[in-house]
């Protein structure tokens, strides 16, 4: 939805500026009037140079916002007063503007969950759905505390996964650096030595030197072509068929596929447990969970699960038919359904997969090391065979 920058006057005649999402200028003007503001100027876009402006709300900041809001509402403070207090506590200008808009809309009589739905980049659907359920059941404070806890656990999970990815990233960068030194500095010197002695070079050595020469002499052509190919690959991954291949790789690659699957299962069970605890209908809960897992293959699996549940089958039976869900998940869900305590069972599943992810991320370096050694070994063996072979031949010729 497009963003518009506005200048308006409130009932007291005070000027206010901010940003608003709407379909067009007319819709933006109508929304402002609903907030009891008189539009003075509405322009499309963010209203200026935004390269160094913070236009995102970090997860950690949203967690603090959620927990503080829960504490204030639990203490009996009205939502508007709580939001006004939170507006002064954040240093994120973008978030401050959004909170101001929330205040204006809540003052106008709209529910908090409805106003938050207008900012999906800040408040995801699962977030607003849980708050809506809390408003309907009169348990908003409890729901907010639960939401903050779940977000903290999710943030911790994301942090562990990112930390685990640092080791392979550093090794990969180091490999690129070594390859650069060999291609641009070592091989040219060796080629000069072989040329001075008039040595007959094997095919692999010629291929290595030719590659080095092309990269050095035509780097200004090779580099843009390489970047262009990466960009085209990215575009293809964004298309339906390419996205299916990319999402398949995410769950099938050695080590990383295992980690991704466990993260998906942790996200699924944690979110599902939270939504069921908030008294959301099972179908709606599945639909929302579906959007929290960014994978087309899981999206298709959830669509099939929804159809099965709509036809009257239990959630566990529907999941048991999907190979993307480990048998343990469906079996434990069956126990939860039979005991009428599915929420607690899902929490146990979450704890199990959180522990699995933690162990896997701790051991990721030792799991990836053999793969890295294999790749490095093949590269080194090729270079050694291509370079040392002719050197030994030169030495033997001179003996």
Residue partners of 394: CB distance under 8 A and separation at least 6: 194, 197, 199
| Fold adopted by 138-217+253-399 | Receptor-associated Protein (1.20.81)
CB contact at 8 A, 332 and 349: yes
Q: Going edge to edge, which strands form the sheet with 38-44?
A: 15-21, 3-9, 38-44
At residue 397, the pLDDT reads: 64
pLDDT in tens, 284-327: 889 988 888 889 999 999 999 999 999 999 999 999 999 999 99
Q: Residue 24 above 80 pLDDT?
A: no
pLDDT in tens, 124-138: 888 888 888 888 888
Residue partners of 167: CB distance under 8 A and separation at least 6: 364, 365, 368
At residue 318, the pLDDT reads: 94
Distance CA 34, CA 204 (A): 74
At residue 48, the pLDDT reads: 47
Distance CA 262, CA 161 (A): 11
Arithmetic mean of pLDDT, 236-249: 91
Quote the DSSP letter at residue 7. E
Residue partners of 220: CB distance under 8 A and separation at least 6: none
Distance CA 85, CA 90 (A): 9
CB contact at 8 A, 72 and 85: yes
CB contact at 8 A, 125 and 291: yes
Give me the residue spans of the domains in the chain: 3-44, 60-123, 138-217+253-399
At residue 49, the pLDDT reads: 43
Percent with pLDDT over 70 in the chain: 93
Residue partners of 80: CB distance under 8 A and separation at least 6: 103, 106, 107
* Paired residues of 20 in beta bridges: 4
Tokens of 318: 């529907």
Q: Residue 2 above 70 pLDDT?
A: no
pLDDT in tens, 160-185: 888 777 877 787 788 788 778 877 88
Residue 362: band (very low, low, confident or very high) from pLDDT cuts 50, 70, 90: confident
pTM of the entire predicted model: 0.71
Let me know if 337 is exposed, middle or buried by CB neighbors in 10 A (0-12, 13-18, 19+). Answer: middle
């Amino acid at each position: 939805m497009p963003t518009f920058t506005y200048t308006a006057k409130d009932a007291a005649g005070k000027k206010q500026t901010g940003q608003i999402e709407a379909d067009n200028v007319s819709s933006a003007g109508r929304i402002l009037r609903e907030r009891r503001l008189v539009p003075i100027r509405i322009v499309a876009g963010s209203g200026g140079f935004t390269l160094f402006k913070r236009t995102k709300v970090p997860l950690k900041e949203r967690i603090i916002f959620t927990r503080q809001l829960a504490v204030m509402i639990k203490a009996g403070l009205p939502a508007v007063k709580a939001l006004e207090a939170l507006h002064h506590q954040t240093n994120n200008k973008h978030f401050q503007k959004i909170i101001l808009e929330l205040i204006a809309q809540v003052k106008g009589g709209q529910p908090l969950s409805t106003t938050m739905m207008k900012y999906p980049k800040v408040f995801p659907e699962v977030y607003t759905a849980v708050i809506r359920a809390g408003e309907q059941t009169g348990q908003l404070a409890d729901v907010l505390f639960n939401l903050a806890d779940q977000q903290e656990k999710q943030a911790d999970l994301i942090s562990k996964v990112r930390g685990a990815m640092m080791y392979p990233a550093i090794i990969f960068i180091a490999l690129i650096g070594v390859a650069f030194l060999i291609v641009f500095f070592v091989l040219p010197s060796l080629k000069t030595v072989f040329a001075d002695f008039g040595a007959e070079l094997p095919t692999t050595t010629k291929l290595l030197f030719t590659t080095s020469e092309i990269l050095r002499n035509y780097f200004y052509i090779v580099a843009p072509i390489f970047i262009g190919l990466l960009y085209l690959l990215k575009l293809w991954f964004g298309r339906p068929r390419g996205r299916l291949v990319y999402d398949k790789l995410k769950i099938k690659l050695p080590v990383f596929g295992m980690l991704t699957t466990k993260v998906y299962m942790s996200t699924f069970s944690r979110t599902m447990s939270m939504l069921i605890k908030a008294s959301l209908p099972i179908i709606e809960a599945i639909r929302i969970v579906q959007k929290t897992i960014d994978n087309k293959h899981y999206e298709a699996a959830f669509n099939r699960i929804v159809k099965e549940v709509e036809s009257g089958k239990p959630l566990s039976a529907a999941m048991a038919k999907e190979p993307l869900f480990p048998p343990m998940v469906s079996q434990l869900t069956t126990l939860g359904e039979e005991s009428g305590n599915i929420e607690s069972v899902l929490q146990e599943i979450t704890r199990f997969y959180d522990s699995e992810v933690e162990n896997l991320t701790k051991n990721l370096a030792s799991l990836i090391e053999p793969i890295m050694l294999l790749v490095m070994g093949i590269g080194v063996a090729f270079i050694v065979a291509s370079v040392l072979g002719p050197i030994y031949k030169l030495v033997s010729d001179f003996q």
